[in-house]
Amino acid sequence: MLLTIESTCDETAAAVIDDDGRVLGDCVATQETLHEKFQGVVPEIAARAHLERILPVIQTAMQKASVSSADLTAIAVADRPGLAGSLLVGVVAAKTLSLAWDKPLVAINHLHAHLYACQLATPTPVYPCIGLVVSGGHTSLYHCTSPLDLDYLGGTIDDAAGEAFDKVAAMLSLGFPGGPAVSKLAATGNRKAFQFPRSMLNKDNFDFSFSGLKTAVRYAITGPGQTDFSKLEIADDVKADVCASFEAAVVDVLVGKARKAVAKHRVNRLIVGGGVAANGYLREQLQQAATKHGFEVIIAPMDLCTDNAVMGAIALQKIRRGEFADLTLDITPGLQRGF
Ligand code: ATP
Ligand code: MG
Ligand code: FE
């Protein structure tokens, strides 16, 4: 029985998972209200909040599962990638419990875990496949032959898709995190109202770029050169059109590139994880593309798209391979492009 800990960004989470991958108890404490007024995650505030929450969150997950430390066989923690201060709280907590309770330690790559959430959606193996991570900090494509064997194909060269959602939401004063709010307004808008760029869609590689799109949205709202959004009065129907057109541009690029990766690598399955995978329009368009082009798409369950500790079940795969960490485990905040 495994205790998993997640603290890579602004969610403090823990779960207890049995050896067959069944979730016995889990707990997620979000910090959205703490970061809302800054319209983005403030690393120092995130780290302090993790510190306050980590033990209660672990305790809650274990209480929900009705287990005590004696029942655990390992402790797993996401050690990469993420905010340094945030990662540190989870890793130090996991190392301390590993030492105090004499349990082996397992290190998890948070991005691999985001993709593993897709495996948790179905009893049949999803690998080999193309994996698309679309989250607050990453937009990456992988060729995956197992949960732990991922070949990086390409990723964003500037902003991540989730980051673009958050920034567009900030421009339109829609709150934080922006994804859900933009998506809700987009549903009532016209996806063709604004012609936003589909950057790099036709480039012969698997990289992405969303910063030009973000600038195009800004100019559509303010006109060139303006930076102060706070005094702008934008009608609700215009906001809806901006959101709908922006969402269409992001989704076109994500679906287009993912589909090309599936074709090029001759797999018949695409898995999609990370916070932006909760986006309704993306889910719908991925399904349509899959039907049209004859591949299968498996998207992480809605409650496992944004950060959680249940996807830490990937640690069972590492245990099976005998891949354990020890008390020298340190955090790795930034990854080489893709890993
Ligand atoms: P990373 O996983 O890269 O370290 P993260 O853990 O902060 O980043 P996640 O928790 O996976 O990111 O996802 C958060 C992101 O998902 C935010 O940018 C948020 O706006 C976005 N998001 C959440 N729900 C939706 C939605 N329905 N539509 C679009 N984006 C969404
Ligand atoms: Mg978050
Ligand atoms: Fe994440």
12 sits in the region (left: phi over 0; alpha: psi -120 to 50; else beta) called beta
pLDDT confidence of residue 222: 83
Residues of the chain with CATH 3.30.420.40: 2-110+307-321, 122-299
Q: Which ligand is nearest to the CA of 163?
A: 1
What stretches of the chain show up as alpha helix (H) in DSSP? 32-35, 43-65, 84-101, 110-119, 161-171, 178-186, 211-222, 236-264, 280-293, 315-320
pLDDT recorded at residue 227 = 67
Query: What does residue 77 show for φ and ψ, rounded to 5 degrees?
Result: -145, 145
Task: Give mean pLDDT in consecutive 10-residue pieces for the chain, a chain of 339 residues.
Answer: 97 97 96 88 95 98 98 98 97 98 98 98 96 97 98 96 95 92 97 97 96 94 73 87 98 98 97 98 98 98 98 98 98 76
What CATH class does 2-110+307-321 carry?
A: alpha beta
Count of CB atoms within 10 A of residue 225's CB? 6
What's the whole-model pTM score? 0.96
Is 110 annotated in some ligand binding site? yes
| pLDDT value of position 233 | 83
Sequence letter at residue 330: D
How much is the pLDDT for 49?
97
**CA 297 – CA 302 distance, rounded (Å):** 14
Ligand 3 centroid to Cα of residue 9, in Å, is: 7
Rg from Cα positions in the chain: 20
- Asked if 31 contacts 312 with a C-beta cutoff of 8 angstroms, the reply is no
C-alpha angle with apex 254: 253 to 257, nearest 5 degrees? 80
Ligand 2 centroid to Cα of residue 50, in Å, is 12
3-class DSSP assignment, residue 294: coil
State in Å: Cα 70 to ligand 2 middle: 31
C-alpha angle 162-277-205 in degrees, rounded to nearest 5: 70
Residue 163 in contact with residue 148, Cβ under 8 Å? no
Instruction: List residues, by chain if needed, whose CB lies under 5 Å from ion ligand 2.
Output: 9-11
Task: State the pLDDT at residue 39.
Answer: 84
- 122-299 adopts what CATH topology? Nucleotidyltransferase; domain 5 (3.30.420)
What does the pLDDT look like over 107-158, one tens digit per residue? Answer: 999 999 999 999 999 999 999 999 999 999 999 999 999 999 999 999 999 9
Note the pLDDT tens digit of each residue in 227-249.
666 667 888 999 999 999 999 99
d(CA 292, CA 320): 37
- At residue 178, φ and ψ (nearest 5 deg) are -80, -25
pLDDT at 339: 54
279: Cβ below 6 Å to ligand 1?
yes
* Residues 242 and 172 sit within 8 Å (Cβ to Cβ): yes
pLDDT at residue number 247: 98
178 lines ligand 1 (CB under 6 A): yes
pLDDT at 40: 87
**H helices, E strands: number in the chain:** 10, 10
Cα(306) to centroid of ligand 3, in Å? 6
CA–centroid distance, residue 111 to ligand 3 (Å): 7
CA gap 124, 179 in Å, rounded: 30
Atom 20 of ligand 1 has which residue's CA nearest to it?
A: 179
- At residue 31, what is the residue type? Q
Q: Was 109 annotated as part of a binding site?
A: no
Which ligand does the CA of 179 lie closest to?
Answer: 1
Cα angle, residue 160 at apex, residues 154 and 164 outer, rounded to 5°: 145
Least distant ligand from the CA of 279: 1
Consult the annotation and say whether 137 binds a ligand.
Answer: yes
